[in-house]
Structure 1
Amino acid sequence: MNQPNTTRRRMLQGMGVGGAAALAGCSGRPGLSAVDPNTGGEPAEAADLEPAKAVDVDRVAADPRDLPPPITRDEPAVVPVTLETEEVVAEIEPGVTFTYMTFNRQIPGPFVRTRVGDTVDLTFRNNTSSTMAHNVDFHACRGPGGGAEATTVGPGEETNLKFKVTYPGAFIYHCAVANVDYHISSGMFGIILVEPEEGLPEVDHEFYLGQHEVYTNGDTGQEGHHQFDFEKMADENPTYSLINGEKYAITPGKYDEMNVKTDETVRIFYGVGGPNQFSSFHAIGSVWDEVWSQGSIASEPQRYVQTTPVLPGSTAIVTMHSPVPGGYKLVDHALSRVARKGALAIVNVEGPEPPEVFDPAE
């Protein structure tokens, strides 16, 4: 077997990151729709947009590393959780602003970690700047609306809810007021994990990602301020499909935050808010070593899965590792969502090159 050419290998790895942009970067000319079937493929003029607005936050993408550590206690506890709903203007991509709805100014909302038998002590607050009522429905909660009825509050209001988590798994939570699809599409979803009493197997890294689609009155990449488009949502024709709320958010070109070594194991909690489309979750250049479909920790995992479906309003827990260094693209394998609408994250793996596993020709 030939020894790898290190310089060329590094160049190829660089192309792997750039290749993400190649795979994911064909959004067409700003201000024009990509194809008009009525003009033989000639671009059509897009809708007029307001100029991009000043942003309230520089970032809505949740840091994928920002989740509580695994639970080591062996008795139930009261877990305090504070969620504040806030409507904020931020960029989906440079030059494109949108008014998101968020839990704690991030998408997905904060990762809530509990253990079977715990009691969640929730403080739920609606920011005074909000323009509408909000609430939260926990799929891990046994009770009317998953708590939605008990937590509905108007701008400037606050309430409290306590509920016991009685079954293990990774579950979505989301806003569930009228026009629930509008609120979820605008960013109001997250994951609550309920660990089994025996805990989870040890890994070296855990990451938290969430996918949703956004429906706007503009085209993908069209500069300006995008308003929400209810007709596009009814037709299930999103402008963007996003991982962590921004186009290509968790990549070296933006927030380069998923970095591991070749001898390390990774667990990913992946939630799909939807509101309509499921994700075909896939790692390019690897497989999922283990998959707990729908976050069902109580079930035995599937092994060596190439692509796993994650339904809207559900989750997957997956593990992976790679003995070969490089950039590993995490995508929705409905690949037009990657190449044109933003659904991409990258895990960067560093370490020695193993020619016995992967040896590109010089």
Structure 2
Amino acid sequence: MPTTNRRTVLQGIGLGGAATLAGCSTRSAPKTTQTQKAMNKQKQKTVQRVAADPTDVPDPISRNQPKTVDVTLRPEEVTAEIEDGVTFNYMTYNGQVPGPMIRVRKGDTVNLTFENPAENDMPHNVDFHAAAGPGGGAEATMTAPGETAHLKFKATYPGAYIYHCAVPNMDMHISAGMFGLILVEPEEGLPEVDHEFYFGQHEIYTDKRAGETGKHNFDHEAMKREEPSYVVMNGEKYACTPDKYGAGKVETGDTARVFFVTGGPNLTSSFHPIGNVWEKLWPEGSLTTRPQTHIQTKQVAPGSTTIATMDFPVPGNFKLVDHSLSRVARKGCMAIVQADGKERPDIFDPEPKK
């Protein structure tokens, strides 16, 4: 994209001046009203699903040398259901919420192609918390619809990190689904486990109450009040449960690793596995610190992550929730991992004999 065109785009949405800091403008975003109108437009590509498949996790890295890893992100503006009968205009990376999980190794170079499709209505970009550089790449990747940007950065510190859209109306874009997770494995890799899952929590602010059927428009005032209609995992209400797209599946005796990212934009998650604990947990996704053990509930702030493992000594459905429980019961924030296998009454006996 020519420099003059990009400068015009940046200035037009408040990102081109010296007041910009790490992808955030200190001035009020000049096009909030236009952006909200564009987001609430009636004609937008409709898709059946935006919920990311929690099992769609890149394979662990087995090589012992760094390499260049090609990554393509496409902001896609689509309409989908938050729950049955409730539609909403999402903004996504590659059509899913959270965006694709990216997996690299310390020392790798990420070679990013950022394609903003011509059919979109809004500029987009991406801020990688794993990138050691101004704005995490936000200004370098700022693109108008129909434009493509390129970015290279070296993965210099191990851990799990969020990436997210960072235009001036970033809170709106993140609330509409524009966030994901990049994992930077340490040089020695991660311990082997039986399963890996990927979940992301965020809140959705609409002009209607949760469950009210029909088209829900984005509500900027509700977002400013931090009063969401929905708080969800993987983009939709109860998406990763048997009643929707299905639970995660394991066997008793297995160990599962969970990669979890809180997009926000405003609410902290109190991440808890009902009927279990986090056997090992790496706060803030840091892989250069020793893990905590046997953690019942972990706060994960907006813009942060955690990595945690679960063991499954007994069968059953294990619910992953935000322990701010009205978000579970009223607003849709729950996923399920289903463990199949033999009962172990010596560990858990739901019907003990008298």
- Paired residue for 1:258? 248
- Paired residue for 2:320? 330
Report the Cα offset of residue 213 of structure 1: 0.2
Higher relative contact order (CA 8 A, sep 6+): 1
- 1:292 to 2:308 alignment: no
Contact 1:53 1:224 in 2 (8 A): no
Contact 1:57 1:89 in 2 (8 A): yes
1:141-290 correspondence to structure 2 within 5 Å: 141-290=131-280
CA distance in 2, matches of 1:257, 1:307: 21
What do the CA deviations read for 1:134-154 (whole angstroms, capped 9, x no partner)? 000000001110000000000
CA distance in 2, matches of 1:296, 1:54: 39
The residue type paired with residue 123 of structure 2 is: A
What do the CA deviations read for 1:66-123 (whole angstroms, capped 9, x no partner)? 1111101000010000000010000000110000000000000000001100000000
Gap change, CA 1:131 and 1:54, over 3 Å in 2: closer
- Paired residue for 2:307? 317
3-state SS of paired residue (1:149):
coil
The residue type paired with residue 229 of structure 2 is: T
1:90-109 correspondence to structure 2 within 5 Å: 90-109=80-99
CA distance in 1, matches of 2:43, 2:155: 41
The residue type paired with residue 241 of structure 1 is: V
Contact 1:103 1:189 in 2 (8 A): yes
CA distance in 1, matches of 2:55, 2:347: 29
Contact 1:140 1:171 in 2 (8 A): yes
3-state SS of paired residue (1:56):
coil
CA distance in 2, matches of 1:191, 1:108: 8
Identity of aligned residues (%): 62
Runs of 4+ off more than 3 Å:
52-55
Report the Cα offset of residue 255 of structure 1: 1.1
CA distance in 1, matches of 2:44, 2:188: 48
- 1:343 to 2:333 alignment: yes
Report the Cα offset of residue 210 of structure 1: 0.1
CA distance in 2, matches of 1:56, 1:142: 36
CA distance in 2, matches of 1:181, 1:99: 15
CA distance in 2, matches of 1:246, 1:259: 19
Gap change, CA 1:278 and 1:135, over 3 Å in 2: same
Q: Which runs of 5+ in 2 are unaligned?
A: 1-39
Taking structure 2 as the reference length, what is the TM-score of the superposition? 0.87
CA distance in 2, matches of 1:280, 1:334: 7
CA distance in 2, matches of 1:133, 1:293: 33
CA distance in 1, matches of 2:125, 2:349: 53
3-state SS of paired residue (2:267):
coil
Contact 1:63 1:257 in 2 (8 A): no
CA distance in 1, matches of 2:213, 2:46: 18
CA distance in 2, matches of 1:137, 1:347: 31
3-state SS of paired residue (1:57):
coil
The residue type paired with residue 218 of structure 1 is: K
Q: Size of the alignment, in residue pairs?
A: 313
Q: Pick the aligned partner of 2:102 from 90, 112, 123.
A: 112
CA distance in 2, matches of 1:257, 1:61: 13
- Paired residue for 1:356? 346
CA distance in 1, matches of 2:69, 2:263: 24
3-state SS of paired residue (1:352):
coil
CA distance in 2, matches of 1:265, 1:323: 9
What do the CA deviations read for 1:258-287 (whole angstroms, capped 9, x no partner)? 100001100000000000001000000000
3-state SS of paired residue (1:150):
coil
Q: Pick the aligned partner of 1:68 from 58, 63, 73.
A: 58
- Paired residue for 1:140? 130
Report the Cα offset of residue 361 of structure 1: 2.1
3-state SS of paired residue (1:151):
coil
3-state SS of paired residue (2:139):
helix
Report the Cα offset of residue 257 of structure 1: 4.1
Contact 2:44 2:78 in 1 (8 A): no
- Paired residue for 2:296? 306
Report the Cα offset of residue 54 of structure 1: 8.4
CA distance in 2, matches of 1:240, 1:326: 27
CA distance in 2, matches of 1:257, 1:339: 18
CA RMSD of aligned residues (A): 1.4
Contact 1:53 1:225 in 2 (8 A): no
Contact 1:55 1:91 in 2 (8 A): no
Contact 2:44 2:77 in 1 (8 A): no
3-state SS of paired residue (1:233):
helix
Report the Cα offset of residue 236 of structure 1: 0.4
CA distance in 1, matches of 2:266, 2:123: 22
CA distance in 2, matches of 1:212, 1:351: 33
